[in-house]
Amino acid sequence: SNLDELMQGKTVLAIAHRLSTIAALDRLIVMDQGRIVEQGTHSELVSRGGLYSELWARQSGGFLAADEAIS
């Protein structure tokens, strides 16, 4: 997408409520109540079963596999 091309080779700070928007980024930082609670790639965070995984399951409704959002 155009956004992917624009971000290529750059450091980007993205804040999103829709997780599919940021799933392909190199590193995700999950914050809860002002504190960092998790960090890693989308796949790592989904496999850990923490807050990100819970939010991903809720937002995708079980329709998107962990790697499907990244492609």
Residues 3-43 pLDDT 10s: 788 888 889 898 888 898 899 899 999 999 999 999 999 99
- Is the residue at 55 inside a domain? yes
Q: How far is Cα 67 from Cα 3, in angstroms, rounded to an integer?
A: 19
Element of type H or E holding 4: helix 2-7
42 and 69 in contact (C-beta within 8 Å)?
yes
Position 68 in a domain: no
Domain enclosing residue 17, as ranges: 2-60
pTM given for the model: 0.75
How many domains does the chain divide into?
1
Within a domain: 71: no
Q: Predicted confidence band at 68 (pLDDT cuts at 50, 70, 90)?
A: low
pLDDT at 67 over 60: no
Question: Would residue 21 count as lying in a domain?
Answer: yes
Asked if pLDDT for residue 70 goes beyond 70, the answer is no
Nearest CA among 11, 46, 36 for reference residue 25? 11
Asked if the structure places residue 70 within a domain, the reply is: no
Is 70 exceeded by the pLDDT of residue 48? yes
